[in-house]
Amino acid sequence: MNNQLIYTDEKKLQMQISYNEDYSKQVNNAIAALKLLAGELTDEQLRTFLSAPESLAGELVGKAKADYDRWMSNAPESVKASSPFSDGGVPAKVLAIHKKLSKPFGMSFDANEIVDGVCTLTKDGKEVLKKHCSIYGNDKAKKVYELSVKAAKVLNDLDKEIRLNNASAECVECWGRWQGYITINDRKAGEVYQPNPYLLDQLRE
């Protein structure tokens, strides 16, 4: 089976690229807020933040607790008693930052990547989006699509000519636009689709 690119919906692709770029700006704003809260974070930690913010919050608190225990290991009991460990509200703050993220309506696929602490739509990410907005198939599928392109062009030309002759040609439409222009014949007759002779009655002389 020869699987090949048949069609790329360029309009959909450009929209998805735009949505991803808008979302990456939101993520970078969130990353800036996280740095103010917890300092520099690794790319892996930032990815964790996006997929499971509570896990990152737990990791940050765990690190802070380990640092606290190390600092307090040789401290007098009076100091330990007067300086109990506190998470500083980090979990709530991390979740609050994450809650502000909102993927644009219509964004169907997130192809952004975290690279060196920055969320960006890379060239590879755009290729992923292209595949997401494309149809692939074998030679038979490609032939079917090419024929559908030709059929659509002919039907659009037919629609244009009908409207040039009669502005009220919408009356020939039934459960689908082109069904009013074309009739469906018995498959045993050979040609399944034939012109609708009654269409001419709707056109002005």
- Map out the domains of the chain as residue ranges: 4-134, 139-202
pLDDT tops 50 at residue 63: yes
- pLDDT for 103 equals 94
Mean pLDDT of 151-161: 80
pLDDT tops 70 at residue 177: no
Predicted confidence band at 140 (pLDDT cuts at 50, 70, 90)? Answer: confident
pTM for the model = 0.74
- pLDDT for 190 equals 64
- pLDDT for 124 equals 96
Mean pLDDT of 139-164: 82
pLDDT tops 60 at residue 204: no
Q: 138-142 long-range CB contacts below 8 Å, 24 or more apart?
A: 138/1, 138/2, 138/3, 138/4, 139/2, 139/4, 141/6, 142/4, 142/6
The β-bridge relationship of strands 4-8 and 134-137 is antiparallel
Give the range among 73-82, 146-155, 190-199 with minimum mean pLDDT: 190-199
Nearest to 134 by CA among 2, 1, 13, 3: 13
